Amino acid sequence: MFPVARAAQSLVARGIQHTAVRQAHRKHEPNFHDKYGTMVLLGGATMFSAVWGYVFTQLGMAWGFSPVGRITPREWRE
């Protein structure tokens, strides 16, 4: 390996090590994702399930392996 490339590689590795050590000694403060991440995820999953549950129950489709001949359009209401 060329001496310049070896020196550059060691500098990069040393920089990564310094960053890891500095972050390991820093006191971790909870941010938004630590505080509310799970609740936001659960709320989004609940809304997703509720909306699609409503859509699927209001479609009026006859579910089966093959929908050919089973789905008929409803009459238009004015």
| 31-54: pLDDT as tens digits | 888 888 999 999 999 999 999 999
Q: How far apart are CA 37 and CA 47, in angstroms?
A: 15
Residue 74: which residues within 8 A CB-CB, separation 6 or more? 60
pLDDT class of 67 with cuts at 50, 70, 90: low
CA distance 13 to 7: 10
Burial 14-36 (b: 16+ CB within 10 A, else e): eeeeeeeeeeeeeeeeeeeeeee
Higher pLDDT, 6 or 46: 46
Does a structural domain hold residue 63?
A: no
Range of the domain at 35: 1-51
Is 62 among the domain residues? no
With respect to residue 38, please indicate whether it lies within any of the assigned structural domains: yes
